[in-house]
Each structure stands twice: as C-alpha cells, then as structure tokens.
Amino acid sequence: MTKRLSSKKQYFLFCTYLIIFTLLFTTTSYAGKVDRTPPSAPTNLRAVTVADTSVSLVWNAATDNVGVKSYDVYQDGIRVANTITASYNASGLTPAKAYKFYVKAKDAANNISKSSNILTVTTTNTTTVPTPAPAPTPTSRVVGYYAAWSAYSGFTPDKIDASKLTHINYAFANIGTDLKITMGYPDIDPTNFTKLNALKQVNPNLKTLIAVGGWSWSDKFSDAALTDASRTAFADSCVEFIVKYGFDGVDVDWEYPVNGGLASNVKRPEDKQNFTLLLQKLRERLDARGLVEGKKYLLTFAGASGSWYVNNTELNLLHPYVDFGNIMTYDIHGTWDKYTDFNAPLYNNSDISPQMKWSVDSSVNAWTKAGFPADKLVMGVPFYGYRYNSVVNLNNGLYQTHTGGSAVTYANIAANYLNAPSYVRYYHPQSMVPWLYNGTTFISYEDEQSIGAKAQYIKSKGLGGAMIWELSQDPNKVLLNSLYNGLK
C-alpha cells in the first residue's frame, strides 16, 4: 500500500522544486548571456611619422565592458591589419599619394565598434625629401636637449640641425598628482612633438626621448619611486606616453635623489635605492613593450656632476638598466658663488683661489670610479655662460667679488659681447675655457676653442659622447658645429 504524503509535505516539496528550478533557469540564462554592447570607437587617430612609403599611426584606446581585444585597421576602406596595440605602421605605400585610414575596436566577445575618425595622410615625395647627412657613429653620441619653452620665442623644433645629433631629449614632461607622466606644456607640446618627429626625415637614425622632471618638476619623483606599485604606475604611464606621441625612449631627470634641488621637493634617504628600482622598473616595462612592437626603446638619465650626487646614487648598480647617463658637467660655478669663476672648467688649475676646485674632469673621474662605465657616460657641454656684474677690477676679473648676475646664452654673448670694443677675451691654459672682461662685467662661457677641447677629451677618455644644454641657446650652430667636427 502506497503511503500518501500529507498536504503540508506536498506543498513543501512543490516550493522546493520551484526554487531549484528558478535558480537553475536563472543561472543558465545568465551564464549563456553574451554582452552584445560594442566597444566605444577609438578616437584621435593621427600620424606620428610620415615617410615616402610608410605612415606610423597611433590612436586613443577604446573602452569596453568586456575588454578590448584588438583593433582592425582599414586603409582606403579595406581591412589591412589587426593589432593588439593602439598603434600601427602602414608600409609599402606609394610616395606622394593620399591614403585614408580608420580604425575599429573589437572586444573579447567579437563585438565591433563604430569607426574612428577618418584620417587622410599624404606620403612624402622622394624627390623632395632632404638627403640625410651622415650622423656621428654610435660611440660618439651627440645628445641635444630641446627646451619646450624655446618655441615661445620662435626656436621651434624644425629649427634644429638634426643632421649633427644622434638623440634629442625634449624637456620637460611633468609628473601629475597621480604620480604619472603628464605633458609639461600642453599648449605647445603637441605641435612641438609633430615637428620633432618630422626631423627623422632629415636624419633617419635620430632618436627622440621625453625628458621627465628637471629642476622645476622633480618634486614628486621620491613618491613615484617609493613602492613597487607607484614605480609600476609611473613606468606604465611613461610607456603609454612615448608610444602615443612617437618618442623612442624616456630620459629621467630627477634633480635630485636624497638631497639637493628645490627646497620644496620631497626627499628621502631611501631615494638612493629607490632610484635604482625605478630605473629597473622602467627598463622592464620598456623592454616588454619593445618586444611586442619589435623595436628597442631607450632609457637614459641625467645626473649632477658633484661627488655628493655620486654618494646619493648607486651608479655601480643602476647602469645595466640604462642605455647611457648624461652627466651635467656645468654649473660647477655660477653667480650664486661669492666670487667669479668658470661655469665648466675642463680641468682643475693650480691658481690660488678662494673657493672650491672642481672640474669636468673631476666629475668624470668621480662617476667612473663609482662604477659607471665610461662608454655609457655622456658628458654635458653648456651652450650658455654666466654674466657677473660689478666685478672688482683685479686679475682680469677672475676670482673677484661681484653683486650678482644671470645666465646668458651663447647667441647673446656672440651678438652683444664677443666683438664689443670694451671687452677683452682671455683663455685659461689649464682649465681650457675662455672668459670676457671689460673692467666691471665678467662673463664665463664656451667658444669654439673650448668646445673643441672638450670634444677631444671625450674621445681621449673613451666616453659615450656629448650632451648639450640646450639647443636654442646656439641657434646659429656655431658651438654645435665645433662639437660635431671635434667628435669625428
């Protein structure tokens, strides 16, 4: 005889089955649901370099709920490539021909976005492209800093003689409150970037780097370098920046780890070790991106010339992570001193003087003795000097008190002082630098003779090359030509 369930038990079982069925149906429905919302369209498609048979394109990445998987690139309405990065190099093009490009994003569910803006690009005409001038050999790097603000006074990047440079460092990018790289001069930087990249048509071997920080914008380096997470975020932002704007690498201008620089800068004793870790993280991220794109991204840094800087960094440990280091062998003396002296004396001299003896040679020796390889050491050369006012009329103005002064470009010196009748040029045979004096004004500077001596020094010491601060200060290329010829 079959035992019948009570009404209460039947009702309980019915409710239980109903709940289970509902859960199963709901889970199955959501598990099988496909997000059919397409990604947003890529934006700001633009060309960073244009040559006779190729165009390098970049765009702002699309956003999506599922995650953007790749991008389809269209050329004249035909899909020509699929790439996982927000960049593409179109090659095999015809010179002097107009092409239309647009891009669509594809997500993990294979949903496709609307197209980006349509970009029309005309390749260059091979008959009008300048014949590239021979660049210095890799063992004789000529690195020129270009100051972004010089564009305000008319010295735009297209005025640079790129045929005599191997690298141009664009100064400077800033560090934002999020500890990521950001444009320093957003009103002029995009235009400058385009003109800078165009120089590669003149010198195809030219490399451009974004210099981060500098004297004014080093306040957040200590925070950016503090933890692995902050270092990673900063490094990733640098990689994204250089890919977006067409640079070949990053130049870290932290002025300075541990001590020095502006009084408002954040400084920590652990900056010494964290600077090495920051460069290590940048090297890791740049290499990873280069592996994807099949190219080598550069990492360099600028450091001070004093022994205090050597003591506050790990030059013997950090050098494997960088392609080279730029040593700022200038501002050894200046108008902040009590007495007149040389901006960048090549060697110490035997003069009796009331202030510290230090020189370019002292700086180079300090770096190499600390374990930094000579062939990676790029020696700084100033294209400016210092003018001291109200100088006591003794010893032709050298090592005398003054009432202050200011920096002065070589262009200003050449135009207003070199040939002025009241000024006499003197040259120190040991320190191998010139100065001008008229009985009251003292000017320490560089000329063709002293630049030539510095070029010979670089070759004799087997150094990695020369670095210039900065290119707009010698618009007529007088010093640049002397340096280039001296390094041949």
pLDDT in tens, 391-432: 999 999 999 999 999 999 999 999 999 999 999 999 999 999
| Range from 16-30, 54-68, 206-220, 312-326 carrying the lowest mean pLDDT | 16-30
Which residues sit opposite 252 in a β-bridge? 212, 301
Domain locations in the chain? 43-122, 141-487
Structural domain 141-487, CATH architecture: Alpha-Beta Barrel (3.20)
Out of 240, 255, 270, 314, which one is annotated catalytic? 255
Average pLDDT of span 137-156: 89
Q: With CA atoms as reference, report the closest residue to 379 among 330, 307, 318.
A: 330
255 counts as catalytic: yes
Q: Which residue has the tokens 């022994």?
A: 307
Q: Name the residue type at position 239.
A: V
pLDDT higher than 90, residue 222: yes
pLDDT higher than 60, residue 107: yes
Q: Which residue has the higher pLDDT, 37 or 186?
A: 186
| Range from 78-92, 191-205, 324-338 carrying the lowest mean pLDDT | 78-92
Average pLDDT of span 46-64: 80
Q: Say what the pLDDT of residue 25 is.
A: 45
pLDDT higher than 60, residue 130: no
Cα-based distances in Å from 116 to 79, 131, 286: 14, 35, 27
pLDDT in tens, 177-212: 999 999 999 999 999 999 999 999 999 999 999 999
Strands 167-175 and 141-147: parallel
| Range from 136-140, 160-164, 277-281, 395-399 carrying the lowest mean pLDDT | 136-140
pLDDT higher than 50, residue 288: yes
Backbone CA torsion sign across 387, 388, 390, 393: negative
Measured in whole angstroms, how far is the alpha carbon of residue 8 from the centre of its chain? 78
Percent of the chain with pLDDT over 90: 74
Q: Say what the pLDDT of residue 28 is.
A: 42
| Range from 96-105, 229-238, 261-270, 306-315 carrying the lowest mean pLDDT | 96-105
Angle formed by the axes of helices 448-460 and 360-369, nearest 10°: 20
CA distance 208 to 246: 8
pLDDT in tens, 154-175: 999 999 999 999 999 999 999 9
Look over the chain and give the mean of its residue pLDDT values, rounded to a whole number: 90
CA distance 321 to 52: 35
| Range from 41-50, 167-176, 281-290, 376-385 carrying the lowest mean pLDDT | 41-50
CA distance 430 to 265: 37
Q: With CA atoms as reference, report the closest residue to 55 among 101, 115, 86.
A: 101
Peptide bond into 172 cis (omega under 30): yes
Q: Say what the pLDDT of residue 158 is.
A: 97
What are the backbone angles phi and psi of residue 81, rounded to the nearest 5°? -165, 160
Q: Which residue has the tokens 């002292």?
A: 362
Confidence of residue 369 (pLDDT cuts 50, 70, 90): very high
Confidence of residue 82 (pLDDT cuts 50, 70, 90): confident
pLDDT higher than 70, residue 12: no
Q: What tokens were used for 472? A: 């707009």
pLDDT higher than 50, residue 60: yes
Domain 43-122 has CATH 2.60.40.10: yes
Residues 6+ positions from 102 with CB-CB distance below 8 Å: 45, 74, 115, 116, 117, 118, 119
pLDDT higher than 50, residue 132: no
pLDDT higher than 90, residue 327: yes
Average pLDDT of span 446-456: 98
Cα-based distances in Å from 354 to 97, 337, 341, 389, 437: 67, 11, 10, 18, 19
Looking from the CA of 448 toward its CB, the CA atoms found within 13 Å total 8
